[in-house]
Chain A
Amino acid sequence: MPESLDAQNPLREGLSGERIPAPCTMVIFGASGDLTKRKLVPALYSLMRDRQLPTAFSVVGVARRDIGDAGFRAQMKESVNQFARRRPIEESLWGAFEQGLFYHQGTFEDPATYERLKVRLDELDVQRGTGGNRVYYLSVPPDDYPVIIKALGKAGLINKERTGPSTRVIIEKPFGRDLVSAQTLNHDVHEALREDQTFRIDHYLGKETTQNILVFRFANGMWEPLWNSKYVDHVQITVAESIGVEGRGGYFESAGIVRDMVQNHLFQLLCMMAMECPVAFEAEAVRDEKLKVLRSIRPMPKDPAALFREVVRGQYAPGAVAGKEQIGYRAEKGVAPDSKIETFVAMRVFIDNWRWAGVPFYLRAGKALPKRVTEIAIHFKTPPHTIFPGRGESGHEPNVLNIRIQPDEGISLKFLSKVPGPTMDTVPVPMEFRYGTSFGAEPPEAYERLILDCMLGDSTLFTRGDEVEASWRFIDRIEKAFTASSPAKFPNYAAGTWGPEAADELIARDGRTWRRP
């Protein structure tokens, strides 16, 4: 725990595993939005149910509509009932929880909103014993981030000092839409906040399985010796969604899959998979190592023809996903009928450092693919010589270590085994670890972990400003190439398939194939 309570409170000794943060108020900007309803308040309720919230805690929702405390509580109750991890809600728990829910009406541009908010928060500190500690959650469109942060600063709602009540700000993705905008936003943020008060959230980092990559790699002695170019042939990282853009067409038209998934989620997985062992499991140490990975990714070629040999884009046409009809991207609400925006991307990247020199990382992300799955598959080199050639299905199949991030979270290792019988036939068999079967207990939602970490002041699982800039630096060249050259044939894959044929060709040029997740 960064703020050691053990040192100050003798009763805390041995209880630090409980991770209970100091009293605080969480102010959610964008309280009427989907994220608040689907994720944030249900996560807070679950934390309360698991007794992980401080005893003195309040939530203040800020939004434009005038619904009052009672209206906000009623809306949130409905949301928790619909989206909480454990449903239905327990009335007695809800009763206690809703006493700490408040609503503040105002527009984000109006300075009066913040003046009144300050008065309200000061009153709540007295009433609820929250001690002036604040977490501001910006669940708003990206254009509002600098507006709110500046206004909070002007209204005296941010304590930038290291002494006194704490102020922390959680900023949702996307953090910028290119390098320049990310740098500008970082500048605005740092005008008002220290970096360690800034929590750029990427919910993939809150997933148990993502965190387990570090445990798997660095708490076990057997993998690290193999985790390099000497033994690894290549790595495939897949972030696949079975749904289309589902009403987010307007947003997606300005983003595309590279901005929406690759710059953040996929690159964070790449970092966790490829990073060196940090000196400690601490925020700066972990993020330093992730940054080194991002800085080591070989930039895409400047020449567009060469770049498009490394990157393939796609857009889904009508089709069927798991038997259900799926309209094409261009027919989605808010999408231009001749849209050139990509809903699929596959690329080959190299990490130019000592460990990974020459090992291709094949990354792909897409919408309307056959199934929702996120995984990292490490394909090991085959033995230099096999003494069982042509025996059975696969005399020469590589070992594959597959880290499944979602769903069916777990890790499997594929290896060859002898088929029982008088011959030496071999067959690949999986050795599996699954969260569900090994731990039984349902893992917490990513937002629960991340909100709790923020309240505790632990930014290990959040993205640092320089990481964001490093990833945009790489992505910018791809985005510029996409903008400069229209795709020849869009849409180019049917919904419910694994992307365009060109993606298969990209990997086939290296004599490899995509894994079927």
Chain B
Amino acid sequence: MTPFSTEEASQRTEVAPDCIEAALSERWRKLAEAAALTHGRPVTRAILWNVILTGPPDVTRTLVDELVSESPTRAIVLAEPQEGDGLLHAYVETNIAKHGAGSVGADEVTLEVGGQGELAKQSLSRIPSVVRSLLVPDSKTALAWIGTPPPAEHVSRGLIGEIDRLILDTRRLSAEDGERGLEVLLALSHRHQQLELADLAWLGISPLRGLCAALFDPPCDPGPLAELDEVIVTSGVPGVQARALLMLGWLGSRLGWKELAPAPGEARSFSCKREDGGRVMLRIQVDKHGARHGVRRLELVSKDRRWSLDRDNQKIEVHAPGLPVRTQPARSHTLVERVGEALGRKGRDRNYHDALKFAVGLVRAERRS
């Protein structure tokens, strides 16, 4: 076989499922040979994570191609097209990104079973064994559900016990689960204690949480946090309100609110007990006119004082009693940026579990009503 260029390495090639590792090694050897022949710098093979991905094929493919620049990973894409011969097909390719004077490359493996029927089922059942054989030792493993989390019987669910981090987006919970999907997620994390949950919806409200906390940093008085009367979250999107629920979940879990109850006669309103025994009202409002963010506005009210954060596509305005209006930058993040964050430090946030638990409490309280 002749040495080949980085362009050729980016081509997708079908290989036998039991020859994937050998095929990848052969690619890297040829890339090194090509570099030696041209006296160029060889591409550095880098693997910081094993990432198993499910999701819409076009989205996952683009994501994996771009992920090499954010966080080089061995990506194992699980694909189930409607049409196909029911056999397990494996494809390999190499994603390469320029970095300074050199380049870095990462492996991409696609395991595909198309079609329905018994043969497809059998082929699907073989996938976990192929995935296990492909996991690079000494690198952590993440499972990324891109888009709507797959149903309970999906092949990726069988791998959860063996992974370190689950990346998902609770804004994309399935239509049939709705916000109950948060309960499913909480149950999953209870079943798999080692599992780190990296929720892209949670990462998206991280700037707002930081700014909200900053409202009560010295020299400002944090005292009013213990005496909040009302918290209103305004969402700019219809449907599943994962971000709004998680924002309330974060505040509730940090401030020790208990005894959640739906507020009588008001949709999406709750009352709970503060640590000092008083009550705080929590409200989720939806306003579709304006920026489409899960938390477009957050208001905290204590007696006659009001703090608020207003977000549009470019900035967050900070309003606090006695202070001028301040502005902090905000911007939309791409999927690859978010997944990159989820693979980093922000993907193991110890506050998330508490916030999720509180949010599930809100969902349950509402259902009870």
Interface residues of A (CB under 8 A from B): 3, 5, 8-15, 17-18, 20, 22-23, 48-49, 51, 54-56, 90, 92-93, 95-96, 99, 127-129, 131-133, 165, 407-408, 432, 434, 436-441
Contacts and interface: CB of A to CB of B under 8 A. Distances in A.
Given A129-B323, A436-B100, A438-B48, A22 B345 contact: no
Interface of B is mostly: mixed
Contacts of B322: 129
Given A15-B351, A55-B215, A131-B218, 5 more contacts: A9-B218, A10-B222, A10-B225, A11-B255, A407-B100
The 9 A-B pairs of least Cβ separation, nearest first, read A436-B99, A437-B104, A96-B327, A11-B213, A131-B219, A129-B323, A14-B351, A92-B314, A9-B222
A9 B225 contact: yes
B249 interface: no
25 contacts: A3-B218, A5-B217, A9-B217, A9-B222, A11-B212, A11-B222, A11-B255, A22-B217, A22-B218, A49-B329, A51-B207, A51-B211, A55-B211, A56-B323, A92-B315, A92-B329, A93-B314, A93-B315, A96-B327, A129-B320, A129-B322, A129-B323, A129-B326, A440-B70, A440-B99
B214 interface: yes
A6 B323 CA distance: 22
Contacts, number: 127
Contacts of B70: 440-441
With a 10 A CB-CB cut-off, give which of A17, A55, A127, A434 has the most chain B CB atoms: A55
Contacts of A18: 210
A17 B328 CA distance: 18
Contact of B329 (A10, A13, A51, A127): A51
B318 A13 contact: no
Contacts of B254: 10-11, 13
Contact of B324 (A8, A9, A129, A436): A129
A441 B67 CA distance: 11
A20 B210 contact: yes
B310 to A, nearest CB: 13
B99 A434 contact: yes
B329 to A, nearest CB: 5
Contact of A48 (B217, B318, B329): B329
Interface string B339-359: 010000100011100000000
A405 to B, nearest CB: 14
A441 B336 CA distance: 12
Nearest to B354: A14
Contacts of B44: 432, 434, 437
Contacts of A56: 323, 326
Contacts of A407: 100
Contacts of B101: 408
B308 interface: no
Contact of B217 (A12, A99, A132, A434): A12
A437 B48 CA distance: 10
Nearest to B207: A51
Contacts of A432: 44
Contacts of A5: 217-218
Nearest to B313: A92
B96 to A, nearest CB: 11
Contacts of A95: 327
B340 A55 contact: no
Contact of A437 (B99, B217, B345, B350): B99
Given A10-B225, A55-B326, A434 B102 contact: yes
Nearest to B212: A11
B153 to A, nearest CB: 35
A15 B219 contact: no
A408 B222 contact: no
A133 B220 CA distance: 13
Contact of A23 (B100, B219, B350): B219
Contacts of A10: 222, 225, 254-256
Contacts of A54: 214, 217
Nearest to B105: A437
B114 interface: no
Contacts of A23: 217, 219
A440 B69 contact: yes
A59 B194 CA distance: 46
A128 B318 CA distance: 12
Interface string B299-327: 00000000000000011001010111011
Given A13-B351, A14-B350, A17-B345, A51 B213 contact: no
